[in-house]
Structure 1
Amino acid sequence: MFKLFRTLVISLCLVALLWLPTNEAQALGGKQPDLNAPAPQFTLLGNAGDGEIDEYSLSDYLGQWVVLYFYPQDFTPGCTLEARRFQQDLPEYNERNVQILGVSVDDVNSHEQFCDAEGLKFPLLADSKGEVSKSYGSYLTGYSLRHTYLVDPEGLLRKVYLGVNPAIHSQEVLADLDSLTANS
């Protein structure tokens, strides 16, 4: 019962955020990191759908693009849809040598269950204290906000997405990656 109530509260908060103008929704999550500047570094525990809990650092992915997406909670409808879309498009990301990293405040056990249930083959990272979410301006009242950041092969933040539409977001990111890589 508590989990259902918690999910309802999160959903209502997220719906409210979608109605706010972008600058107000951004302010709720905190200050965004600067574009074309080094992305905030982190190391978190996570699960990549292989049953193993590993340590993941953003610096591990220097030399390739990273899609760093924050989401509120495992197993909620919007978060499940977004993860499924990234998984569906994973071969296209792999062809482009792009790493997808999902981040929420859920623990590694929840991520493991979510990866197993949805067949996810990219890492979901446990930001249980919300510190990484806060450093990216993607934290509100105990949850990560639905924000995505593109980090280039040199570790620079190149694109920010706030309040994304989970149904089309993965394709949007792929199109922007193509545009960004064509211009480099």
Structure 2
Amino acid sequence: MTLRRDFLRFLLISALVFFSVISFTAPALALGGKLPEIGQPAPAFTLPSSTGDGSISLADYRGKWVVLYFYPKDFTSGCTLEARRFQQDLPKYLEKNTQIIGVSADSVDSHTEFCDSEGLKFPLLSDRGGKVSQAYGSWLGIVSLRHSFLIDPEGILQERFTGVNPAIHSQEVLARLEALQLNG
């Protein structure tokens, strides 16, 4: 029994260390691959959504700004904090004609439970094979890295964020969005 408990404790600690490394050091080391270029069209995608409306495409939001954020895993501490902050700031984004979209490799069912649990009113998309995460340089083989992108109403990538701190990230994105909209 002690051996089993020690093994489970080891697995839990290993998982926590793994997700901490992904959240803070992996983006700085560019482990996710080549990031798309600012000023170029954002990679197109269509993925299943937590909203129950089937799939969502980037093209569905033409005419709006889009905050596309990638994250490792539903229900983990950093990912939950980041999602809560985006939800808290959602009215400010909506005032700025901006849609928030989260992406991870979790299933639609997991996303739906996560949205219900946290009261999230924006879609989470299921990138099970990591194809979209790869297109955005945000894939680590089994999970998405914590990267975010600002896409303008014409579908052009205007900003990218790596090495994200979940506690303050939404405010950083909102400040950059405001600056881009003032200068645009």
What is the TM-score with the length of structure 2 in the denominator? 0.90
Q: Give 1 or 2: higher strand fraction.
A: 1
Q: In 1, Cα distance between the equivalents of 2:121 and 2:44?
A: 23
Cα pair distance change 1:64/1:21, threshold 3 Å: closer
Q: How does 1:1-184 map to 2 (within 5 A)?
A: 8-17=13-22, 18-19=24-25, 22=28, 24=29, 26=30, 28-48=31-51, 52-184=52-184
Q: In 1, Cα distance between the equivalents of 2:176 and 2:114?
A: 27
The structure with more radius of gyration? 2
Q: In 1, Cα distance between the equivalents of 2:129 and 2:27?
A: 27
TM-superposed CA distance for 1:7, in Å, is 6.4
Cα pair distance change 1:183/1:163, threshold 3 Å: same
What is the TM-score with the length of structure 1 in the denominator? 0.90
TM-superposed CA distance for 1:135, in Å, is 0.6
Amino acid at match of 2:99: Q
Cα pair distance change 1:74/1:41, threshold 3 Å: same
Residues 125-173 of structure 1 show CA distances to partners (whole Å, capped at 9, x for unaligned) of 0001110001100010300000000001110111010020000000111
Cα pair distance change 1:66/1:21, threshold 3 Å: closer
Q: In 1, Cα distance between the equivalents of 2:145 and 2:114?
A: 18
Q: In 2, Cα distance between the equivalents of 1:21 and 1:58?
A: 23
Residues 57-85 of structure 1 show CA distances to partners (whole Å, capped at 9, x for unaligned) of 00111111000000000000000000000
* Consecutive aligned runs of 4 or more in structure 1 exceeding 6 Å deviation: 1-7
Residues 94-138 of structure 1 show CA distances to partners (whole Å, capped at 9, x for unaligned) of 111100000000000000000000010000000011100011000
TM-superposed CA distance for 1:47, in Å, is 1.2
Amino acid at match of 1:76: T
- Is 1:82–1:167's contact at 8 Å kept on the other side of the alignment? yes
TM-superposed CA distance for 1:5, in Å, is 7.1
SS in 1 for 2:113: helix
Give unpaired runs (5+ residues) of structure 2.
none
Q: In 1, Cα distance between the equivalents of 2:164 and 2:40?
A: 22
SS in 1 for 2:44: coil
Q: In 2, Cα distance between the equivalents of 1:138 and 1:62?
A: 23
Cα pair distance change 1:173/1:130, threshold 3 Å: same
Identity level (%): 57
- Is 1:53–1:108's contact at 8 Å kept on the other side of the alignment? no
Residues 29-75 of structure 1 show CA distances to partners (whole Å, capped at 9, x for unaligned) of 10001110000000000113xxx242100011111100000000000
Give unpaired runs (5+ residues) of structure 1.
none
Alpha-carbon RMSD across the aligned residues, in angstroms, is 2.1
Amino acid at match of 1:38: P
